[in-house]
């Protein structure tokens, strides 16, 4: 089976979907000639031409609105917002239009638009370029929010997002574009709303998304080898709608849960998951659900300070040990 | 073409249609105001009284397959573009028989089939979307155009500028029609724009500009027809400023403390309906009794719309969370 990077896996998904359906088109800043600032759209311009692969001006509100209008009229746009930090400029179009047009029109209008955008920190990009803003979209009814953590999921999830009729926020992560995994050559899809148990275990459930899945898996490995603790790692993959069933099933088995996220601690994906687990599996819990978040501050530039702001393998191990009284 | 010439060129049917549509909107909006204060309509409600010539003139320049999108003062546009008055009134009443099943309200009238895509409660929100609709037309190689309505307040929003730039940069067939009724809520244009000449707002976007007297339905029709022809032939966007007057407040609950009663009275002296009526009579195209009969017919249609709305049921409880998403997510099995 071939091994692909996360970026290449997304690139393949785009190629396959664009070849299959000529209503799929890509637009965004530097997606065409440059090939995407993270190489995800490399080669698409040569393959599909200018009409279907469009470089846009720096106009996030305009290009998201354009994507919405094109989707309403029957096309399948895949709009790239260079990083999630810039999506704030398009929040009105996303929250007040993309998420609501179907409902406000009594179901007449559909918006099968996919917005692809990477977030995340740890690369010294500074406060305005290091954020994880997925929580903002999970909060708004009417949006599917997907967040693949590895190349296999990335390809299968992007293909599903493009085929689906709903508006989708497809959140990637800047520092995992070069991570690799095996990706089947034959066509496959990863469904919306289905979490994945990335590692089976019995003593504790660790839930993470995007880059934190790798952190959780690394922590689980060391917990096993150094402390004999068997941790189950779950990747929700879709943040909205959330696969509550899989999370709760795991917690019923282990009795303990730690959630690790790059989001800030308040009103976040992780704190919301913790509430969901506590309200649905309270009788099975031996301890309150712990959420490890990024520090409650803007991300600093200076390298060591920035590393202190982010959750890491060490913080996950410490939290697990504490919960298990080790 | 001058209005005087147009009257001679157009058929009796066409002219009567314009007259009736304006009267229908006027009666509809007056009744809406009454129903609002009687407690049947709630929330925000922005009436089009005085501005009828803009929607009627402009929309009659289009083909049925052209797309229309607009702002929140949308009852008139919805009716002319093909929403039945009874379904618009039912929407205002929040009934299940409303154009949006009662879930949209005054600012969110839609008819997807007739290509009326709202209604938008966010000032300038519709402009980038209009550009996307036009993108889809060019993508598919069609000859349709998009008519995008917005008010004088929208020209200072960022989305306006992004949309006009994109439309011009990529040659997208949008007619950007600014309904300048001189007031953005309680703020006059002079206090909102560094230039009160709103065509100047669009002049840096490399597109053809037009300005028209929005109180003259034939002038609006003529100007829009020329803009539509240009847009359809060249596939380039264009901008029209239609100067109009709203005879009532910003919304039904606006006491209008920002302008004097004299100013409103002065504005009402040039009623677009009276203007056309007098012209049709003067030119011997319609007799006063014929026009009165049309007025009565329009009133009846509005009264029937109210009756329909009153009799219609409210949406069921399970409508609350339906139409939020397509909950049949894509799955490999059904691909």
Give residue-wise pLDDT tens across range B185-231. Answer: 999 999 999 999 999 999 999 999 999 999 999 999 999 999 999 99
- Cα A297 to chain center, whole Å? 21
For residue A192, is pLDDT > 80? yes
Superfamily of domain B3-334: Thiamin diphosphate (ThDP)-binding fold, Pyr/PP domains (3.40.50.970)
The pair of three-digit structure tokens given for residue B14, joined into one six-digit string: 């066409």
Environment class of B334 (CB within 10 Å of its CB; exposed 0-12, middle 13-18, buried 19+)? exposed
Rounded to the nearest angstrom, the minimum Cα separation between B205 and chain A is 14
Domain boundaries, chain B: 3-334
Question: For residue A184, what is the enclosing H or E element?
Answer: none
What average pLDDT does the segment B294-310 reach? 98
Q: Is the pLDDT of residue B328 over 70?
A: yes
CB contact under 8 A, B129 and A68: yes
What distance in Å separates the CA atoms of residue B270 and residue B237, rounded to the nearest whole number? Answer: 31
Query: Rounded to whole angstroms, how far apart are CA atoms A16 and A20?
Result: 6
Q: How far is B168 from chain A (nearest CA, A)?
A: 12
Residues of A classed as catalytic: 60, 129
Whether B251 has its CB under 8 Å from any CB of chain A: the answer is: no
Task: Give the pLDDT confidence of A73-99 residue by residue, as tens digits.
Answer: 999 999 999 999 999 999 999 999 999
pLDDT digits (tens, 9 = 90+) for A211-251: 999 999 999 999 999 999 999 999 999 999 999 999 999 99
Per-residue pLDDT at B4: 84
The answer to whether the CB of B98 falls within 8 A of the CB of B104 is yes
Mean pLDDT of A248-257: 98
Using a CB–CB cutoff of 8 Å, tell me whether B334 touches chain A.
no
Compute the CA torsion angle A137, A143, A148, A152 (nearest 10 deg): -170
User: In the structure encoding, which two tokens stand for residue B8, read together?
Assistant: 């001679």
The chain B residue lying nearest A97, using CA atoms, is B125
pLDDT band at B2 (very low <50, low <70, confident <90, very high): confident
Rounded Cα distance, B147 and B50, in Å? 21
> Please, what is the average pLDDT of chain B?
97
User: Given this chain, do its domains A3-182 and A196-323 carry the same CATH topology?
Assistant: yes
User: B132 vs A92: CB contact, 8 Å cut-off?
Assistant: no
Q: Which residue has the tokens 């095996």?
A: A182
Q: Considering only A25-39, B2-16, B225-239, which range has the smallest mean pLDDT?
A: B2-16
Is-contact B205 B168, C-beta < 8 A?
yes
Of A61, A106, A144, Cβ closest to residue B99: A106
Span B26-75, pLDDT tens digits: 999 999 999 999 999 999 999 999 999 999 999 999 999 999 999 999 99
**Cα–Cα dist B147/B67, whole Å:** 6
- The ipTM assigned to this model is 0.97
Nearest by CB to A105, from B112, B125, B162: name it.
B112
Q: Could you write out the DSSP letters of every residue in B85-102?
A: HHHHHHHHTT-TTSTTTT
Is 3.40.50.920 the CATH classification of the domain at A196-323? yes
At B334 the pLDDT is 64
Using a CB-CB distance cutoff of 8 angstroms, which residues of chain B are in contact with residue A59? Answer: 162, 165-166
- How near does any CA of chain A get to the CA of B214, in Å? 27
Instruction: Reduce the DSSP state of residue B307 to 3 states and report it.
Output: helix
Burial of B199 (0-12, 13-18, 19+ CB in 10 A): middle
Query: Rounded to two decimals, what is the model's pTM?
Result: 0.97
Residues 6+ apart with CB under 8 A from B169: A57
Name the CA dihedral angle for B58, B64, B70, B73, rounded to a multiple of 10 degrees: 70
Measured between CB atoms, does B316 come within 8 Å of chain A? no
Which sequence spans correspond to the domains of chain A? 3-182, 196-323
The band of B332, judged by pLDDT with boundaries at 50, 70 and 90, is: confident
A265 exposure class (CB count in 10 Å sphere: 0-12, 13-18, 19+): middle
- Fold of domain A3-182: Rossmann fold (3.40.50)
Question: With 80 as the cut, is the pLDDT of residue B335 above it?
Answer: no
Contact B324 A103 (CB under 8 A): yes
Q: Do B324 and A56 touch (CB under 8 A)?
A: no
Query: How does pLDDT run across B244-260, given as a tens digit for each residue?
Result: 999 999 999 999 999 99
Residue of B nearest to A25 (CA): B139
Of B106, B95, B100, B104, the closest CA to residue B47 belongs to B106
Question: Do A175 and A122 meet the contact criterion of CB atoms below 8 Å apart?
Answer: yes
């Amino acid at each position: 089976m071939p091994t692909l990077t996360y970026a290449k896996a997304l690139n393949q998904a785009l190629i396959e979907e664009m070849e299959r359906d000529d209503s799929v088109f890509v637009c965004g800043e530097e997606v065409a000639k440059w090939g995407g600032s993270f190489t995800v759209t490399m080669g698409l311009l040569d393959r599909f031409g200018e009409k279907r692969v469009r470089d846009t001006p720096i106009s996030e509100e305009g290009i998201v609105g354009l994507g919405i209008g094109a989707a309403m009229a029957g096309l399948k746009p895949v709009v790239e917002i260079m990083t999630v930090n810039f999506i704030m400029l398009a929040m009105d179009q996303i929250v007040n239009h993309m998420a609501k047009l179907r409902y406000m029109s009594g179901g007449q209008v559909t918006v099968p638009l996919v917005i692809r955008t990477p977030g995340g920190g740890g690369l010294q990009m500074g406060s305005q370029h290091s954020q994880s803003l997925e929580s903002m979209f999970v909060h708004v009814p009417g949006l599917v929010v997907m967040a693949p953590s590895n190349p296999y999921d990335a390809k299968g999830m992007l293909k599903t997002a493009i085929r689906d009729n709903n508006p989708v926020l497809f959140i990637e992560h800047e520092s995992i574009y070069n991570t690799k995994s095996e990706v089947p050559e034959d066509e496959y899809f990863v469904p919306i709303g289905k979490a994945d148990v990335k590692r089976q275990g019995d003593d504790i459930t660790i839930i993470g998304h995007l880059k934190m899945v790798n952190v959780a898996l690394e922590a689980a490995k060391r917990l096993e080898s150094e402390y004999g603790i068997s941790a189950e790692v779950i990747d929700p993959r879709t943040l909205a709608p959330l696969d509550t069933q899989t999370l709760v099933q795991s917690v019923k088995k282990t009795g303990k849960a730690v959630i690790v996220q790059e989001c800030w601690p308040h009103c976040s994906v992780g704190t919301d998951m913790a509430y969901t687990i506590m309200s649905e599996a309270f009788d099975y819990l031996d301890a309150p659900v712990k959420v490890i978040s990024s520090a409650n501050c803007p991300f600093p530039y200076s390298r060591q300070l920035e590393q202190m702001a982010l959750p890491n393998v060490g913080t996950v191990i410490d939290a697990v040990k504490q919960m298990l009284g080790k | 073409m001058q209005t005087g010439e147009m009257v001679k060129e157009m058929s009796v049917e066409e002219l009567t249609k314009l007259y009736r549509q304006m009267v229908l909107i006027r009666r509809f909006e007056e009744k809406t105001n009454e129903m609002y204060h009687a407690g049947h309509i709630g929330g925000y409600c922005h009436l089009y009284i005085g501005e009828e010539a803009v929607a009627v003139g402009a929309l009659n320049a289009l083909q049925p397959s052209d797309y229309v999108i607009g702002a929140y003062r949308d009852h008139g546009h919805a009716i002319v573009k093909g929403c039945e008055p009874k379904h618009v009134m039912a929407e205002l009443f929040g009934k299940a028989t409303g154009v949006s099943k009662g879930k949209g309200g005054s600012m969110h009238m839609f008819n997807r089939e007739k290509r009326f895509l709202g209604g938008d409660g966010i000032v300038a929100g519709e402009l980038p979307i209009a550009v996307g609709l036009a993108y889809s037309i060019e993508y598919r190689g069609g000859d349709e155009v998009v008519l995008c309505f917005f008010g004088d307040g929208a020209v200072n929003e960022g989305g306006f500028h992004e949309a006009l730039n994109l439309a011009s940069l990529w040659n997208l067939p949008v007619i950007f029609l600014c309904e300048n009724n001189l007031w953005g809520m309680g703020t006059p244009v002079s206090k909102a724009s560094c230039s009160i000449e709103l065509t100047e707002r669009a002049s840096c976007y490399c597109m053809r500009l037009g300005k028209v007297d929005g109180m003259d339905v034939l002038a609006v029709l003529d100007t829009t027809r020329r803009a539509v022809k240009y847009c359809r032939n060249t596939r380039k966007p264009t901008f029209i400023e239609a100067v109009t007057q709203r005879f009532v407040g910003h919304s039904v609950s606006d006491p209008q403390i920002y302008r004097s009663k004299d100013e409103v009275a002065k504005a009402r002296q040039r009623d677009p309906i009276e203007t056309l009526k007098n012209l049709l009579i003067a030119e011997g195209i319609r007799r006063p009794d014929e026009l009165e009969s049309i007025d009565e017919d329009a009133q009846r249609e509005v009264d029937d719309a109210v009756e329909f709305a009153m009799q219609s049921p409210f949406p069921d409880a399970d409508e609350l969370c339906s139409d939020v998403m397509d909950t049949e997510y894509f799955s490999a099995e059904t691909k």
